[in-house]
Every structure is written in C-alpha cells, then in structure tokens.
Amino acid sequence: MTLTTAMKFFLGGAPAGPAGTGKTESVKDLAKNLAVRCVVTNCGDTMTKFQLANIYGGLASAGFWGCFDEFNRINEEVLSVAATQVAEIQDALRKKKDVINFDGMRITMRETVALFITMNPTYLGRTELPDNLKVLFRPMTMMVPDIDLICEIRLMSEGFKEARLLAGKMARLYKLCDDKLSKQQHYDFGLRTLKAALVMAGELKRDDGKRDEFGILMKALRDMNTPRFTFSDQELFYTLIEGLFANVDITRHDFPPIKETIMKVLDRQEMRNTEQFPEESEHIVTKTVHLYETMYTRHTTLVTGPSCAGKTTIMETLKAAKTEDGCKTSIFRINPKDRPVIEL
C-alpha cells in the first residue's frame, strides 16, 4: 500500500532496512501481482550517469519497473545527476507525455513505468542520498521478517507434513545460534542462510521420501552449518541441535565416497600421522570433505582461518582427489590486490 500510494503521487519507493528483510522481494512481488515486468539492477560505485541514463530510458520506453538494489553505493556526484534524470521521468508521467527528450535520446513514455531504490543503512561505504534525490522517493522501513512463517511455508512447499513443528525448531535453532555462539565475522544466521538450509532439506526429502522428517531437517541443518563453525562453537551447536531434535542420532555416518580418495591423497603426501596426531589427521580429512560438500550447495566458497591453518592444503587435496576420481581439476589463482575493482 505504501508503494502503490507513492506511485499514485508519481513518486518512487525507497524501502530501507537490514539485509534479508524482503526489500527487493516486496517490490518484485508487487510487480508480479500487477502483471508488470520488474528489472532488478545491483548498483555499485563503478556505475556512471550514462549507464543510469540508458537504464532509465529503457525502462521508460518499455513501461517496466526498475528496482535499484543498494542504490546508496553509487558515488555522490553520480547520484546528483541521477536526481535530475528521475525527476524528468516523473515529470513526464505527471504531465502524461507520450514522447520526451531524455538525456539526448528521444524516447516513448509508457505510463506503467516506476522506479524504486532499496538501501541498507548498516553497511560501510554507503553514501547519504542528496536531498534533491530523497524527495523523489517515498521512504519505507522494512520490519524484521517472520522467520517461523517463512520456514513453515517453504517446508510445506517442499513436501514436509510436519512443517509447522519443524519450522518452530529451525527458527529457534538459528535464534539460539545467533545468541549463544561466539561472534565471528563470517557467521550469518539471517534469512539467506536459512533459505539455503530449507532448499537442501527439500532436496533430501525428494531423494529419500520415506525417511523421518525430523532426521531429514536435522541432517540439512547439521551439514549446512558445521563447516563454518570454530571448534568450540561446533560442540555448542551439537548440544543445541541435540536439545531440539531429541531421539534423533546426530552422529555422521554418511560421508561421500570421495572421502576414501582424500585419505589416499593425504597418505601419499605423508600429511596424515594417525598414530601421533589422530585428531589432527581426522580433522584435515573432515575439512576437505566439508569444502567438497559446501561447493555443491553454494555458488562461491570462502575458506577462512589464521595463517598455516591448512586453507591451501585442503583446496589442493580436494583438487588432487577429484582428479584421481576421473574429474580433471585445475586451480587458477588471481591476486585481487593487483587488479582494479572494475576488472574484478
């Protein structure tokens, strides 16, 4: 209602709030309900006024909605020009013009066009919007999402019969993890992480529909979260998950077949000493398996840890194991410090 009222007055909408609260999704869903195409653009500090002019002109002539994600990442001097460009389009809508001269281009206007910007005020490197741009968008603050309801709907759509009970356990676990575990920079218990675990639970359900639903969800939560925990937090996480999923065995037995190849590779390189250092030897195997599994559930993977913790070792081990299993694998290294941002 806030966004449609803004459009009634020929203004744009500016949802703001923390990550994972549904800013972009709300705009996309509204467009879907009104049968309008919504084009989402991820903004960055490399965007120029010419790029913005092309996008605005294209949206106006097609009658599409434009949702500009993280709009306040664009440089201040570009935002000042953007204010003039947005004002031109809104003025043309107000005066019901069919054709306008926009930034040296003659474009046909369609009345269904609308512009929206989303902002995340908590991140570093964000620019304050100029006043002449602020007045063109109706501000709107997004609330914290209803995690229980989102989990329940998603689990139900994935075919879980006990969706409501499982959703409560899942939301409770992530809340406890956020409160009780140590504060690490790479920990994230937001909506995006939650969705990834829900998708994995759905895949496990389809693979083995006869298995107990509590066991399926517990396995998804364990396998998705364990790789990123520190040693002390891993023990605490298992305690939390044991408390929520009583009578479900959380011990892992289903390691992938590549584990045997990983152990052979490490033995050949003399990197396992099971007699003197049994725990350390098992740890490097487990972490390599974690990396292997994480790469199946994520588009990109971040391997983090202090110097000499074995980050490069597990990558090289996995490469050698996959090559040995018949999937020729190579690693190409790029040093991001010697590249300009735009090239990266």
CATH code for position 49? 3.40.50.300
CATH of the domain at 172: 1.10.8.710
Cβ(250)–Cβ(238) below 8 Å: yes
H or E, element range at 27:
helix 23-33
Q: What is the pLDDT of residue 127?
A: 66
In a domain? residue 343: no
Residue of 203, 193, 154, 155 lying closest to 173 (CA atoms): 193
Exposure string over 141-154, b if 16+ CB within 10 A, otherwise e: ebeebebeebbbeb
Which of the four pLDDT bands, split at 50, 70 and 90, describes residue 125? low
> What's the structural domain count of the chain?
3
Task: Express each pLDDT in 267-309 by its tens digit.
Answer: 888 877 777 677 777 888 889 999 998 888 788 899 988 898 8
- Listed residues 141, 161, 179: the one ending a domain: 141
Same domain membership, residue 194 and residue 153: yes
Structure tokens at 43: 């903004």
Is residue 239 in some structural domain?
A: yes
Pair (313, 289) in one structural domain: yes
330 within some domain: no
The reply to whether 98 and 42 lie within a common domain is: yes
**Spatial separation of the C-alpha atoms in residues 342 and 200, rounded to whole Å:** 34
Give yes or no for a contact between 161 and 185, defined as CB atoms under 8 angstroms apart: no
Q: What DSSP designation does 190 have?
A: S
Residue type, 215: G
Same domain, 29 and 123: yes
Residue 341 lies in a domain: no
pLDDT tens column, 27-79: 999 999 999 999 999 998 888 999 999 999 999 999 999 999 988 888 888 98
Kindly state whether residues 13 and 136 are assigned to the same domain.
yes
Q: Is the pLDDT of residue 123 over 70?
A: no
Question: Quick one: 199 and 170 in the same domain?
Answer: yes
- Residues 168 and 188 reside in one and the same domain: yes
Q: Over 90: is that where the pLDDT of 113 sits? A: yes
Answer with the one of 91, 120, 141 that is the final residue of a domain: 141
Range of the domain at 129: 2-141
The reply to whether 272 and 229 lie within a common domain is: no
Query: Looking at the structure, do residues 19 and 135 belong to the same domain, yes or no?
Result: yes
User: Which of 119, 141, 163 is the C-terminal boundary of a domain?
Assistant: 141
Residue 157, domain member (yes or no): yes
pLDDT tens-digit series, residues 153-209? 999 999 899 899 999 999 999 899 988 888 888 888 888 888 888 988 999 899 887
Query: Is there a single domain that holds both residue 93 and residue 8?
Result: yes
